[in-house]
Amino acid sequence: MRPSDLAREHGLSTQAVRNYEQSGFIPPAERTPSGYRVYTEVHAAALRTFIALIPAFGHATAGQIMNAIHANSLDDVLHTIDRGHEQLLRDRETLNAVSRAAEDLTDFEPVLHPRSIGELARRLNVTPATLRAWEEAGILVPAREPTGHRVFTAEDVRDAELAHLLRRGGYPLSRIALVVDQIRTAGGTDTLAAALTDWRHRLNTRGRAMLTAAAHLDDYLTARSTPQPTKQDA
């Protein structure tokens, strides 16, 4: 197989295939007497595996897995994959916790008295600096006393609770600001429900990608352990 044969299957350039070989993501190619690369079905299986690992674990981790395979370090391969599944499980558990909290927020009971930044920080178990960062990002819009001290009303506390939950779910501050602003404007949690639905879809998509990657990885490990025909055999 030529580099173009491997590249065509995935819509890649031949240079990308050579780069992947140089990075150790696929095994070194054999060479003809004139120096041209010659790939086999094992190389094709390696490339399919690497491409499948990317949506499941990310580009960097996919590369680490392939490098570990080619270093014959199966323990490292499986350990990295286990960490990925562990992270996905934590994300799913966090999502479920946020979903339950969102249901509780439907019947949100306002706090009786405004809170100071220190009181709100203790309620959420974060630092006042974190709350100031959320304010700078537009997530929180507390009022100010004549002395300049921040005052967090019941709605501010609700927004901070939502921000805290979404932050644990991995949402960037800019996305949280958008969600909280829309909830603040609409006076409800419908936007949060949409965000949670999108988050669950992304987790499920990643979980399916892990299944696909696992199938390709098993095929590749099997191909590597199967003796390949030599030129003399051919």
pLDDT, tens digit, 9 for 90 and up, residues 197-223: 888 999 999 999 999 999 999 999 999
| Chain segment 4-19, per-residue pLDDT in tens | 999 999 999 999 999 9
pTM of the model: 0.68
* Nearest-angstrom CA–CA distance, 175 and 137: 10
Percent of the chain with pLDDT over 90: 56
Average pLDDT over residues 180-204: 76
Instruction: For 115-167, give the secondary structure using H, E and C.
Output: ECHHHHHHHHCCCHHHHHHHHHCCCCCCEECCCCCEEECHHHHHHHHHHHHHH
* Nearest-angstrom CA–CA distance, 173 and 179: 10
